[in-house]
Structure 1
Amino acid sequence: MKTLAMDAAGKLISSSYELDLYRPNIEDYLPSGSSINEPHGELRLRDLLDISPTLTEAAGAIVDDSFTRCFKSIPPEFWNWNIYLFPLWCFGVLVRYLILFPARVLILTIGWIIFLSSFIPVHLLLKGHDTLRRKLERLLVELICCFFVASWTGVVNYHGPRPSIRPKQVYVANHTSMIDFIVLQQMTAFAVIMQKHPGWVGLLQSTILESVGCIWFNRTEAKDREIVARKLRDRVQGADNNPLLIFPEGTCVNNHYTVMFKKGAFELGCMVCPIAIKYNKIFADAFWNSRKQSFTMHLLQLMTSWAVVCDVWYLEPQTLKPGETAIEFAERLYASALII
């Protein structure tokens, strides 16, 4: 795409030169009512695009290379409006909504019953035994995340060594949806840094997820950045703390692209362990566009899809090289994520 834009830009310069050479004849090609002698002595952009296919290609390349496409859902290709396949699609809708969805709701309900009947006694009765309580709460959080993945008929393939609890390390991962946290949490109880949400998600954050050491921030609070940075530095120093997970993109991206990492996770002076998550869109689109859809509707969409299929790669840990800045460190890991 960059090559196309550069070629088009080169042609644009050439076309501008030719425009000066043949200026007297351009009016022959302008739309009726247009004149080369506009109020400010310049041609309007739409007139130039009308007479120059090269300019049209250049403008199209710029628009197609827009940063905003990273945050838009890419609709699937329509295949079901076919007289032979449409009945099969209708049958699939009935299976997903009348068979799979009730079964998944039942699985999730059973999971919450088991979790709450175990978590509440552990949280209340073992307050004086912090080490045992944290260990049991960590296992229970992993358990409820397993039930969530089961309610999507999740098929998750993990590649690489399982994360371990060690001081001075932080895990970073690309971010497609809040379910990234659930997919990773069912394998290892991470302490994640995440934006504070309202509603039932916020209730879970302030009660259950607090038990694994998660850190919440609020973008509307001006002093929150300094407070979170201090908590992060304290968190990575603890030998018994759960592994810290950060999504350095800072927002959900549609899993077709990866945006530049923010430097906060890379200036903690510790080992950085990259994680790459890739979802398969054949069975379900895991991207959550929070501006258009609530997280509740996002979960319902996943529970009425065929399955959530994804691969998770635990990549080789990286450390800051001598003379390397935090921004350069972030760019290096960003480049390694693009390979996946």
Structure 2
Amino acid sequence: MNVKTQNNKRSLLHDAVDIISISTHSLESDDFHKCFQPISRHEMDSSGIFYIFSFFIRYFILLPIRLLFLVLALVFYALLISKALIKNCENEMKFAYIFIIKAINFIVGAKITHHGKKCNLNRPHIFVSNHTSFVDFIILSNHGRPHACVSENHGGLFYLLFNLILGKNGSIAFKRSEKLDRAKVKEKMKIHLAHNKLPLLVFPEGTCVNNKYSVMFQKGVFELDVDICPVSLKYKRTLMDPYWNRRKQGFALHLLYLMTRWYIEADVYWHSPATRKENETPSEFGDRVKALISDKAGLINTLWNGYLKSSPALKERDLLKVAFIKTYCLLRECYIEKEEYKFTTYKMFLFGSIQYEVFLLEILKRYHDIKSLQPVEQNTLISSINTCSLVRLFNKKKCSCKAHITKKSKNRYKFKNCRLEVFRRMM
């Protein structure tokens, strides 16, 4: 569906006023951070005499009992894993791992309803799921075959438990701040898959989201050309909020919070394996899998990059600037596509006739497409912000698809046979 705008009746001054109004709206209602807002108290049953009575039971009866069970479980696990390492027995190591996973599920009071059948393929495959808390991994590993995982190394108590439990089953830890670590992750995943170890569980969002929204899936796992097994995880949040807000809670505080709840209730939906289609890019494959997961779990599907939550790198901001400029250029050419993504209920119309949410969607689509380019191409686009010549954006040396640039008409340029349709339209 195309959105036509009456640009011939509008001046750039009109558009400048609309751009300022977009900034004003960002101050009034932050659509990005809605994905990471914890649940409000009025959404949970936490009032009256029942809450006071339950507080006493949860903190002074349940918590000491659960802490005792946790300590005993960790001690018993340490004995089991030590015995397995001395004997170099893989079956005993697997038994120790299954034991600690089931023990933690019991300690936090997990009540999980599983829908569908969990995949058990004889060929390399990876499970991917939406991400809300570290307990996601515990819940999914407790059903059928356990998992190894790919996780950022947070340090502290998390680092200690990761080395004690997950470090023994082939799980991969990395530091997102170090580029060398990130580059090695893909190679480690390939080695893990080649040795037919425990199936990997990956959370492509790369950050915890509040279980109301889903954010952009990072493309790394979808570049491996293996079967992807999607999993939808939806929590019932009447008595607790499972979302791990790392800005306000460290790992220890979040674990303490979970252990002082009555129970954790969730629905898990296991999907059939998905494979990458012919001529489908890793980003498009990731979008397709994310749409499937979001639809089943009832999550609002967005294209925001979750990495911007914790470390809004300057390069990411520059890429968003490029996406904004390109979207505005498309709008001036009277061509905008409309998709089924929803970001906001803001009803303002921009640039004559386009809704704010549609304009925001298009910016994120451009940003998503730019993220799929090679780093040298991204840097070229960023440098083009301060240049006036669009013809220099890509050339035979810069663009990985080696497309030739041809002049179409006066002051108009386009790509010939470029691998990204979006950039053909932009020019």
- TM-score using structure 2 length: 0.61
The answer as to 2:294 corresponding to 1:332 is: no
| Contact 1:165–1:241, Cα closer than 8 Å, also in 2 | no
CA deviations 1:249-297 (Å, max 9, x no partner) are 0101011100011111111011000011111111221100112111111
Question: Residues 208 and 152 (structure 1 numbering): CA distance in 2 closer, same or farther, change over 3 Å?
Answer: closer
Question: Residues 314 and 72 (structure 1 numbering): CA distance in 2 closer, same or farther, change over 3 Å?
Answer: same
Q: Percent of aligned positions with the same letter in both sequences?
A: 33
| Shift, 1:155, TM fit | 0.4
Structure 1 counterpart of 2:67:
105
1:288-299 matches, cutoff 5 A: 288-299=244-255
| Contact 1:119–1:140, Cα closer than 8 Å, also in 2 | yes
Question: Residues 166 and 79 (structure 1 numbering): CA distance in 2 closer, same or farther, change over 3 Å?
Answer: closer
The answer as to 2:164 corresponding to 1:204 is: no
The answer as to 2:206 corresponding to 1:241 is: no
Structure 1 counterpart of 2:81:
119
3-state SS in 2 of match to 1:223: helix
* Aligned-partner residue type, residue 231 of structure 1: K
CA deviations 1:239-258 (Å, max 9, x no partner) are x3110111100101011100
Partner of residue 215 from structure 2, selected from 242, 259, 265: 259
The answer as to 2:103 corresponding to 1:147 is: yes
| Contact 2:217–2:290, Cα closer than 8 Å, also in 1 | yes
* Aligned-partner residue type, residue 63 of structure 2: F
* Aligned-partner residue type, residue 194 of structure 1: S
| Contact 2:118–2:271, Cα closer than 8 Å, also in 1 | no
* Aligned-partner residue type, residue 66 of structure 2: R
| Contact 2:227–2:273, Cα closer than 8 Å, also in 1 | yes
Q: Which 10-residue stretch deviates more, 269-278 or 142-151?
A: 142-151
Structure 1 counterpart of 2:41:
76
Question: Residues 78 and 260 (structure 1 numbering): CA distance in 2 closer, same or farther, change over 3 Å?
Answer: closer
Partner of residue 287 from structure 1, selected from 243, 258, 261: 243
Partner of residue 170 from structure 2, selected from 213, 233, 256: 213
CA deviations 1:39-71 (Å, max 9, x no partner) are xxx9xx7xxxxxxxxx79x95589546112111
Q: Which 10-residue stretch deviates more, 195-204 or 310-319?
A: 195-204
Question: Residues 78 and 207 (structure 1 numbering): CA distance in 2 closer, same or farther, change over 3 Å?
Answer: closer
CA distance in 2, matches of 1:78, 1:325: 40
Q: Which 10-residue stretch deviates more, 275-284 or 58-67?
A: 58-67
Structure 2 counterpart of 1:310:
266
| Shift, 1:302, TM fit | 0.8
Say which one has the larger Rg: 1
* Aligned-partner residue type, residue 119 of structure 1: I
CA distance in 2, matches of 1:319, 1:140: 33
CA deviations 1:155-176 (Å, max 9, x no partner) are 0112222342633211111110
Q: Which 10-residue stretch deviates more, 97-106 or 187-196?
A: 97-106
* Aligned-partner residue type, residue 162 of structure 1: K
* Aligned-partner residue type, residue 117 of structure 1: L
Q: How many residue pairs were aligned? A: 285
- The runs of at least 4 consecutive aligned structure 1 residues that moved more than 3 Å come to 58-65, 78-81
Structure 1 counterpart of 2:146:
189
* Aligned-partner residue type, residue 210 of structure 1: G
CA deviations 1:179-206 (Å, max 9, x no partner) are 1111112223211111112123212323
| Contact 2:127–2:199, Cα closer than 8 Å, also in 1 | yes
Question: Residues 299 and 207 (structure 1 numbering): CA distance in 2 closer, same or farther, change over 3 Å?
Answer: closer
The answer as to 2:188 corresponding to 1:231 is: yes
CA distance in 2, matches of 1:339, 1:261: 15
| Contact 2:44–2:237, Cα closer than 8 Å, also in 1 | no
Q: Which 10-residue stretch deviates more, 212-221 or 197-206?
A: 197-206
CA distance in 2, matches of 1:80, 1:173: 28
| Contact 2:157–2:251, Cα closer than 8 Å, also in 1 | no
| Shift, 1:234, TM fit | 2.1
* Aligned-partner residue type, residue 160 of structure 2: L
CA distance in 1, matches of 2:64, 2:267: 27
The answer as to 2:54 corresponding to 1:92 is: yes
CA distance in 2, matches of 1:198, 1:180: 19
3-state SS in 2 of match to 1:158: strand
Gaps of 5+ in 1: 1-5, 21-41, 46-54, 128-132
| Shift, 1:78, TM fit | 7.0
Give the CA RMSD over aligned residues: 2.8
CA distance in 1, matches of 2:121, 2:103: 24
